[in-house]
């Protein structure tokens, strides 16, 4: 069976970067932790919300690396000297990556009741009409 790529369709010119982006997105390796929501808050804005109970602001980092929003969490182990009869809340680290389209910018981030909110905005696309002159040969 032949694998079709965007380059195999003759009417789709210049989409190689999109194809690489899709491949990179498939390789981000996000696990199921922490759970998150993505909501559209207006026609040109979004909000990513991660459930980060037990993490403080100092335990989290948010960066944009090569058009990827990367959110990392790392908690210190404070269990020294404590005896747990059951430990269901583990101090664990995580990394969540979200690929950003061109024109999407990261805005504010805020913590509220164990939830980390990251706001994104997308530039409003402009309609461009271009007339091409035909030279006489």
Does pTM top 0.75 for this prediction? no
Burial state string for 40-74 with b = 16 or more CB within 10 A and e = fewer than 16: eeeeeebbbbbebeebeeeebeeeeeeeebebebe
What's the pLDDT tens digit per position in 27-39? 555 568 899 999 9
- At 38, which helix (H) or strand (E)? strand 36-42
Listed by start position, the domains of the chain span 31-122
Fold of 31-122: Immunoglobulin-like (2.60.40)
CA distance 72 to 61: 5
What's the pLDDT tens digit per position in 2-61? 666 666 677 677 777 777 767 766 655 556 889 999 999 999 999 999 999 889 999 999
């Amino acid at each position: 069976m032949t694998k079709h790529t965007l380059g195999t369709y003759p009417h789709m010119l210049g989409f190689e970067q999109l194809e690489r982006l899709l491949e990179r997105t498939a390789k981000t390796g996000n696990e199921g932790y922490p759970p998150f929501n993505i909501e559209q808050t207006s026609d040109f804005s979004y909000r990513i919300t991660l459930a980060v109970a037990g993490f403080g602001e100092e335990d989290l980092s948010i960066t944009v690396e090569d058009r990827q929003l990367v959110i990392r969490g790392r908690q210190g182990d404070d269990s020294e000297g404590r005896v747990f009869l059951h430990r269901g809340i583990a101090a664990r680290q995580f990394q969540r990556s979200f690929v950003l389209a061109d024109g999407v910018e990261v805005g504010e981030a805020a913590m509220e009741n164990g939830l980390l909110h990251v706001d994104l905005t997308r530039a409003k696309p402009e309609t461009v009409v271009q007339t091409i002159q035909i030279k006489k040969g």
